[in-house]
């Protein structure tokens, strides 16, 4: 599975014109891709990467299989075909809905929260990543909560004014680091994809 597919498994598509959503591979009809719901059909379909727009481009569904459908395969295909009767394509682009935030929009902060909340072995896995050592060390410190940010300094009774001068004191928190450090955000993104976090 490539990086794109790993990322797209962490959300679903709202289908509009069907041009951005793959019929079998992406999640759009229910809470799982059709390839996972019907693996036997997916194994014998000829064009596995076709979009919904391609499949619905003709009155007869534009899908072909490498062998005739019989038994359970025929029954399952008829189930899929029946569900497609309710699909009406629009003149708008499909919308990807991020699964870790109520708004449906991707944010690094929500990704980081998912990483921590799903019990990933951050202290161990960080060292397996193909990243510069300084980023590995920084992420390890952040996980352990020892970065000298406003929230951590407050917990140990230190005044941030004595430590932070370059940035507004109210901003200098872990959330600030996640939101405004491009290299760190990039590292989190790579880490998130590399270890295939489960959905919440």
The pLDDT tens digits of the residues spanning 152-164 come to 444 444 444 444 4
133 lies in a domain? yes
The separation between the first and the last C-alpha atoms of the chain, rounded to the nearest angstrom, is: 21
Query: Is residue 129 predicted with pLDDT exceeding 80?
Result: no
Tell me the sheet residues that pair with 151: none
- Look at residues 39, 70, 97 and tell me which one is the last residue of a structural domain: 97
Domain limit, last residue, from 97, 125, 156: 97
Q: Which of 97, 128, 163 is the last residue of a domain?
A: 97
Tokens of 154: 């407050």
Q: Please tell me whether residues 78 and 116 are part of one structural domain.
A: no
Query: What pTM was computed for the model?
Result: 0.59
For residue 68, give its domain range: 3-97
- Assess whether 51 and 112 both reside in one domain: no
Do residues 144 and 112 share a domain? Answer: yes
Please give the structure tokens belonging to residue 57: 């481009």
Cβ–Cβ < 8 Å for 124, 191: no
Q: Are residues 35 and 62 in the same domain?
A: yes
The count of domains in the chain is 2
Helix (H) or strand (E) holding 98: strand 95-98
CA-closest candidate to residue 149, choices 184, 103, 108 = 184
């Amino acid at each position: 599975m490539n990086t794109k597919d790993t990322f797209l498994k962490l959300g679903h598509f709202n289908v509009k014109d069907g041009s951005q959503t793959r019929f079998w591979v992406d999640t759009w009809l229910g809470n799982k891709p059709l390839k996972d719901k019907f693996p036997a059909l997916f194994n014998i379909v000829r064009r596995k990467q076709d979009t919904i727009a391609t499949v619905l481009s003709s009155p007869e569904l534009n899908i072909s299989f490498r062998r005739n459908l019989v038994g359970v395969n025929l029954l399952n295909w008829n189930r899929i075909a029946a569900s497609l009767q309710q699909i009406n394509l629009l003149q708008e682009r499909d919308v990807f809905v991020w699964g870790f935030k109520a708004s449906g929009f991707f944010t690094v902060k929500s990704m980081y929260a998912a990483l921590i909340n799903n019990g990933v072995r951050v202290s161990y896995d960080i060292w397996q990543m193909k990243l510069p050592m300084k980023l590995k060390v920084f992420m390890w410190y952040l996980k352990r909560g020892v970065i000298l940010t406003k929230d951590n300094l407050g917990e140990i009774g230190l005044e941030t004014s004595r430590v932070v001068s370059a940035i507004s004191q109210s901003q200098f928190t872990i959330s600030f680091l996640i939101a405004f450090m491009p290299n760190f955000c990039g590292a989190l993104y790579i880490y998130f994809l590399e270890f295939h976090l489960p959905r919440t």
